[in-house]
Amino acid sequence: MAVLGSLFFLLLEMFLNVQASCNVGGLCRGVWYQPVEHHALLGQSFMNISGISAVRCSVRCLRHHECVSFNYDHINQVCQMNNASAEHVGDNLQGMPHFSYYDATAKPLTCQNTCVSGHGNCAPLKACGGFEKLGLEDGSIPDENLSASSSWAPHDYHTSMSTPAGGRLNKIPPDADTMGAWHPMVADTNQWIQVDLGNTTYVTGVLTQGRYDSFGGPQWVTKYKVQFEPPSPASLVDVKDQLGQTQIFKANTDQHSIVERCFFEPILAVKIRIVPVEWNIFIALRFELLGCK
């Protein structure tokens, strides 16, 4: 009975989160606030909520008539709702490691008309597709911001080389000596490709493809998980599903189709890591991230 009760409240929370994000300003859109990192507004908190994400904290603040701003403790996952903003009591905004301050009276950061999905697959209004590509495909994220656990290096004249930059969505190899994907040296579950976003960014989902060319046989990733680094310095954490478990995303079934997967809720990240879990023949991946710049 206790388990059923917990599941009921979880489903209710999911429903309220989506409803709240779709009713702000009368538009069906996600609304998020840019943080002031490593700061907190002191002496103004009237309610603390433990064990929720910064995104859910923003939803709670939007629903609460007394909430004007909030602090988020990234280490302890505590949401501190404030009854004032830094605009009015600016001297109370103090440097605090592992905290971020959000002003609910500031102009919200909005993406294109969309609702936030609550189920990991793209809901009506294409919850991920309504957001922007974050810059892998068009090159606005530079090559130096991409890294990987390893990349294939040729060891005889029959093989071509791979780099993390080859993992960009729709990337076509410039010559026969370059692979049409990121391709690690070995195929195991310790391999990863990582993106440094440069700034704190809301990320909502991933687009994936397989290897452009077929040397060595058709190759693609069939399942993967996503890890991210939050704004305050911390180790990488897994993207979770609605039950709080590490989410395993289904990916491709061929080389060229683009498969879109949405997170259960947007995450606030400075780095994103894709970790292949299963693959066809060998790990080979091209991808893009979706979210709010």
Q: What is the CATH number of the domain that holds 66?
A: 3.50.4.10
Q: How far apart are the first and last CA of the chain?
A: 43
Is there a contact between 177 and 156 (Cβ–Cβ < 8 Å)? no
d(CA 129, CA 115): 10
Q: Do 25 and 105 share a domain, yes or no?
A: yes
Q: What are phi and psi of 31, to 5 degrees?
A: -130, 120
Q: Would you say residue 178 lies in a domain?
A: yes
47 domain residue, yes or no: yes
The answer as to whether 228 is a domain residue is yes
Tens place of pLDDT per residue across the chain (293 aa): 554 444 444 443 443 343 333 322 222 234 456 678 889 999 999 999 998 888 788 878 877 888 889 999 988 999 999 998 888 888 899 999 989 998 865 544 444 433 333 333 333 334 444 578 999 999 999 999 999 999 988 766 556 789 999 999 999 988 877 888 999 999 999 999 999 999 888 899 999 999 998 777 899 999 999 999 988 766 899 999 888 899 999 999 999 999 999 998 888 889 999 999 999 999 999 999 998 76
Q: HSE, CB side, 13 Å, CA atoms: give it for residue 37.
A: 10
Q: Which residue has the tokens 């609304």?
A: 31
Degrees, nearest 5: CA angle 195-34-265: 65
Co-location of 149 and 271 in the same domain: yes
Asked whether residue 124 is domain-assigned, the answer is no
Domain's final residue, options 80, 110, 140? 110
Residues 173 and 270 in one domain: yes
- 172 and 275 inside one domain: yes
CATH number at residue 173: 2.60.120.260
Instruction: Please tell me whether residues 142 and 71 are part of one structural domain.
Output: no
Which token pair is 268?
Answer: 């606030």
Do 105 and 149 lie in one domain? The reply is no
Tell me which H or E stretch contains 291: strand 286-292
Kindly report the number of other CB atoms within 10 A of residue 247's CB atom.
18
Contacts of 142 (CB under 8 A, 6+ apart): none
Check residue 290 and give its pLDDT: 93
Residue with tokens 């919850």, as numbered in its chain: 127
Domain count, the chain: 2
- Residue in the block written with tokens 């491709």: 252
Same domain, yes or no: 148 and 249:
yes
Same domain, 187 and 227: yes
Residue that terminates a domain, selected from 55, 77, 110: 110
Task: State whether 157 and 219 are in the same domain.
Answer: yes
Domain carrying residue 180: 132-292
